Structure 1
Amino acid sequence: MDSHYLLLVLISLFFSALFSGMEIAFISANRLQIELQGKQGKVSGKVLASFIQNPGQFIGTSLMGNTISLVLYGIFMAYLLEPPLSYLLPEALNTQAGIMIVQTLVSTLIVLVTAEFIPKSIFILNPNRLLTFFSIPFAVIYYLMYPIVWVVVGLSKFVIVRVLNLEYNDEKPAYTITDLNSFVQNYMDTKGEDLDIDTKIFDNAVDFKKVRVRECMVPRTDIVAMEVEDQISDLRELFVESGHSKIIIYKETIDDVIGYCHHLELFKKPKGIEDILTPIIIVPESALANELLVQFIKECKSLALVVDEFGGTSGIVSMEDIIEEIFGEIEDEYDNDDLIDQKVADGEYLLSARHEIDYLNEKYEWNLPEGEFETLAGFILSLTESIPQKGEFVSYGPFTFTIVSKQDHRIDTVKIKIQ
């Protein structure tokens, strides 16, 4: 074997592997992280950020570089393999066509493994880091090949637009939720577990625009309310008993809410409830929480009535309830700090049915499904499709839910056994 041709084969394989790996890394990379590296002034970040804004140039360079490398590889490999194949092949295959077929098979097998499968598998595992490492050499190759790349990209645009009559999209990329989540997760992995809380807040903020009002409201059954025709003395007593700063006021039924009263208004010594009534914002269950938060700020309000599709009262939501969706639990007058949450034995729990499914899944690492319901009671009702009686049980996968107590038509306490 000629060592000269062997060296050239190895060099051409290296560049083919580099271009293949850079192409798959560029497609898989987190674009937001690259853009931030560029903003931080890093040379590699600026180089990659410029390619992010012109992806056609990067892909064109990769494809052109890979093509040239493979052509040179094929030529050098032919010179390298022909002498030993002429000596080793049996007489039946020892012809020009036979040698060419064997050369093609051997060369293809080698290039598929060493210049395609292996580099792409490596680069896709950590695309951003490898892109950064090879960014400067790649930029040098890009400028050396720029005239050829410019012609190839131009011809590609011409064929796409003029021949195939398709639209050529060369817009700057928009950063998605996936880019944000991936960036935060990578940053958290490098900094350790101290950033858990900050990361959770960031994730909540990213998902906040999809949160509906029904996901953070206080349900109808927990609303403390009073009829507008009741006496001021009754209202004062209800403030004391409930400990709330605001009381919902309705006319005849809870489905006809007309406003609320603030306890400070009692210092004005009103003659009737209607004299201190504050109008309330009314929103549907499907309203977006972020839009309601903006409305709260604009109107200097902090409480809204949530209605269902038929106009009936579904619950109430406060500014604090919405903010909790980002920052986590904040204790207020409507929060129940007496919710039962006990582990009575291995695989056995006693829980208030008002616990949220998200809370239970996070605390106990369960995998209870999510749906139209928010709480454990809602999940059980979705399984039974009726109001279960005390002592009744229902199963779901490894979970067995037993109704321990209930109040009227509401499930109060549940015993969960996991098999």
Structure 2
Amino acid sequence: MAEVLDAALADGRSRVPVFGEGIDDITGVAYVKDLIRASRTGRESSRVARYARRTYFVPETKRISELLSEMRVRKAHMAVVIDEYGGTAGLVTLEDLIEELIGEIVDEFDHEEAMVERLPGGDLRVQARMSMDEVSELVGVDLPEGDWDTIGGLMFHLLGHVPFEGESTTQGEFRLRAEQVKGRRIGMVRIEKLTQ
């Protein structure tokens, strides 16, 4: 239990999945607060499974709006997502769902990256949510305006799809490279001035 508790606390987790034979055999979810309580009362040698609570399983095809509503009714903060074969596809938290709908939520365990980082050689790394006005001011060139407000939105427009990690496109005299792509969200954009 001590090892699980240490790892959960180091990662800022409040819940951890408990599984039996393997990743596709999730038997419950242990709350870190229960594990802390057990360790303080001298039961740190107990198995984590002893403190597992029932878990909530959802198919990976479930719509976010439906899942959010169901989790609210069930007072569930975490669900196990299963694929069509009954295997574990992943975990989803209430925070994940809210962030998917309204954007990133920064808490005490998140490390907010700088909005702009100047890289050796003159390149810039900016958060994808940086406004087009701010980016234009940084690079000293008016970038195009359209149905997007951010540099990440411009990348979506130029590519016509969600970029994969490291994918790039050009806009005028600049190459835009997607970095830190998670799911359908670009975290950072590297801006490189093309040599003439």
Same fold (TM over 0.5): yes
Is the aligned partner of 1:401 residue 2:188? no
Structure 1 unaligned regions, length at least 5: 1-231, 374-378, 382-392, 406-411
Aligned pairs for 1:8-47 (under 5 A) are none
The structure whose residues are more often strand, as a share, is: 2
- Cα 1:343–1:296 change in 2 (3 A) is same
1:368: which partner in 2? 155
The CA deviation at 1:418 is 5.3
8 Å CA contact retained: 1:340, 1:350: no
8 Å CA contact retained: 1:402, 1:416: no
1:331: which partner in 2? 106
The CA deviation at 1:260 is 1.7
1:344: which partner in 2? 118
Is the aligned partner of 1:283 residue 2:33? no
Letter aligned with residue 264 of structure 1: K
- Cα 1:321–1:365 change in 2 (3 A) is closer
Identity value in percent = 24
- Cα 1:350–1:233 change in 2 (3 A) is same
1:322: which partner in 2? 97
Aligned pairs for 1:32-181 (under 5 A) are none
Q: How many residues align?
A: 158
8 Å CA contact retained: 2:152, 2:189: no
Task: Report the structure number with the largest CA radius of gyration.
Answer: 1
8 Å CA contact retained: 2:178, 2:190: yes
Alpha-carbon separation, structure 2, partners of 1:349 and 1:257:
43
Cα displacement string for residues 277-304 of structure 1 (whole angstroms, at most 9, x for unaligned residues): 1222222333112211222122221111
Alpha-carbon separation, structure 2, partners of 1:280 and 1:316:
11
2:23: which partner in 1? 254
Structure 2 unaligned regions, length at least 5: 131-147, 181-186
The CA deviation at 1:265 is 1.1
With the length of structure 2 as denominator, give the TM-score of the two structures.
0.59
Matched residue SS, 1:247: strand
* RMSD, matched Cα: 3.8
Cα displacement string for residues 206-263 of structure 1 (whole angstroms, at most 9, x for unaligned residues): xxxxxxxxxxxxxxxxxxxxxxxxxx12122223322221122233443443322112
Is the aligned partner of 1:299 residue 2:74? yes
The CA deviation at 1:276 is 0.6
With the length of structure 1 as denominator, give the TM-score of the two structures.
0.31
4+ residue stretches of structure 1 with deviation over 6 A?
none
Alpha-carbon separation, structure 1, partners of 2:100 and 2:112:
21
- Cα 1:307–1:342 change in 2 (3 A) is farther
The CA deviation at 1:327 is 4.8
